[in-house]
Amino acid sequence: MRTTPDAQASRLLAGTAHCVTNDELVDRLALGRPLRVKLGIDPTASDIHLGFAVVLRKLRQFQELGHTAVLILGDYTARVGDPTGRSATRPRLSRAEVDANAATYVDQIRDVLLPEPLEVRRNSEWLGAMGIDDVLALTGRTTVARMLERNDFAERYRTGTPISVLELLYPLLQGQDSVVVRADVELGGTDQLWNLLLARQLQEQAGQAPQVALTTPLLEGTDGVEKMSKSLANVIGIREAPGEQFGKLMSLPDALVPRYLALAADLPPQRVAETEAALASRELHPGAAKRLLARAVVDLYHGAGAGEPAEAGFDRVFKAGQAPEDVPDVPVPPAELADGGIAVARLLAVTGLVSSNNEGRRMIKQGAVRIDHAVLADPDAVLDAGRVDGRLLSVGKRRWARAHVEGA
């Protein structure tokens, strides 16, 4: 039996934050044709994380109902920089940086979306072809007063923080994307609502029916405070190793577990509600709920059943105090062995366990570094060349490597 517009709308609105408007969504669904559902992505980083996957999975729900996902890779707008939520001007990216990020985005997005119906476009197709007359015409479609209705612009204006004219153009360029692809619906996080509404205005001025603006909640990062963002180092990537995903999810603050169950795990709503009720009544311990969450997320991105071995690996390290079974062998170039040895802080950096020698020294001082399970206390410690090859290194409980001296 064919799903009714009301039933489709009910499913699509579940877990969302805003819909402008519900009645318009039902009316669009009643048209009897596949809707064009737009999601814009500025490839400003190389990895997709669980926070961004929330809106991607909502887009997949539209696909499952037969609607067309129109994915806009903002290779042009990424070089302008989205000012949303910014307290200062965002640094501009080069074309090469944007192209490299876009390539990895498309690859990872296929882990979430269906291959069809899917339309992938780059907004440089039309924005890059605009002349100065086109840009001037676009800027004439709104006012400075309208722009200053945005909370972030208004706050920066109030405090005297610079706002570049380039940033003022960004929402107009994003809205132009909706006009060009004739979007019926546009998805975004709650921080994108103003941009989505401006696009409705531009579509009406172009003689189009305004898109339905549908937003999803922002997922807090592993710190439990800020929204998940690579720049804040609080992310869980959808392609991180199963053990890494599991460990990060187990370290979440207890208060975040219900939100992650609802937004990140793709569990049935009834299962989520039952788990939340059991947590609230204290029938279920937060640690058990985290295990359920971690298994579900790992299964979602690494295949059914992947969560169980990830959980066993977690217990191996955190309960039994043993090394993971899949510790990678990391090569150490002989050139790094100055005078026949290497400082441990440097060795940690060479093997990728820390980002720099200074971080290595800092981790040693904090007692977070072990060599063959023994805690290292001396930040100036040096290992002889003959003692480097085959040594098991760890920083904390989730970063492991076995050193292998090339040619040894």
- Contacts from 319-322 at CB under 8 Å and sequence distance 24+? 321/373
Q: Which of these, 203, 195, 197, 201, lies nearest to 178 by C-alpha position?
A: 203
pLDDT tier for residue 89 given thresholds of 50, 70 and 90: very low
Q: Are 238 and 49 in contact (CB under 8 A)?
A: yes
Contact partners, residue 209, CB within 8 Å, separation at least 6: 184, 203
Q: Please give the C-alpha separations between residue 77 and each of 72, 89, 110, 124, in angstroms, as whole numbers.
A: 10, 14, 22, 8
Q: Please give the C-alpha separations between residue 353 and each of 46, 182, 235, 337, in angstroms, as whole numbers.
A: 20, 47, 17, 18
Q: What pLDDT score was predicted for residue 92? A: 62
Q: What is the mean pLDDT of residues 62-85?
A: 83
CA dist 72 and 84 (Å) reads 18
- What does the pLDDT look like over 120-148, one tens digit per residue? 999 999 999 999 999 999 988 888 888 88
DSSP lists the bridge partners of residue 18 as: 215
pLDDT tier for residue 82 given thresholds of 50, 70 and 90: low
Does residue 330 surpass a pLDDT of 50?
A: yes
Which residues in 48-131 belong to E strands, given as ranges?
68-73, 118-122
Q: What pLDDT score was predicted for residue 2? A: 60
Q: What pLDDT score was predicted for residue 33? A: 94
- What does the pLDDT look like over 91-127, one tens digit per residue? 566 778 788 877 888 888 888 999 999 999 999 999 9
Q: What pLDDT score was predicted for residue 1? A: 40
The pairing of strands 212-216 and 185-189 is: parallel
- In degrees, rounded to 5, the angle at the alpha carbon of residue 211 between the alpha carbons of residues 210 and 213 is 125
User: Which DSSP category does 370 fall into?
Assistant: E
Q: Are 259 and 48 in contact (CB under 8 A)?
A: no
pLDDT tier for residue 46 given thresholds of 50, 70 and 90: low
pLDDT tier for residue 176 given thresholds of 50, 70 and 90: very high
* 3-state DSSP helix/strand/coil % of the chain, to nearest 5: 45, 15, 40
Domains of the chain, start order: 5-216 (3.40.50.620), 240-318 (1.10.240.10), 329-405 (3.10.290.10)
Q: What pLDDT score was predicted for residue 88? A: 45
Q: What pLDDT score was predicted for residue 19? A: 96
- In degrees, rounded to 5, the angle at the alpha carbon of residue 197 between the alpha carbons of residues 95 and 57 is 65
Q: What pLDDT score was predicted for residue 407? A: 61
Q: Which residue has the higher pLDDT, 200 or 231?
A: 200
Q: What pLDDT score was predicted for residue 373? A: 73
Q: What pLDDT score was predicted for residue 408? A: 56
Does residue 382 surpass a pLDDT of 60?
A: yes
Q: What is the mean pLDDT of residues 173-191?
A: 95
pTM for the structure as a whole: 0.77
Average pLDDT over the chain, rounded to an integer: 87
DSSP lists the bridge partners of residue 118 as: 69
Q: What is the mean pLDDT of residues 312-322?
A: 77
Helix axes 242-250 and 307-318, enclosed angle (nearest 10): 60
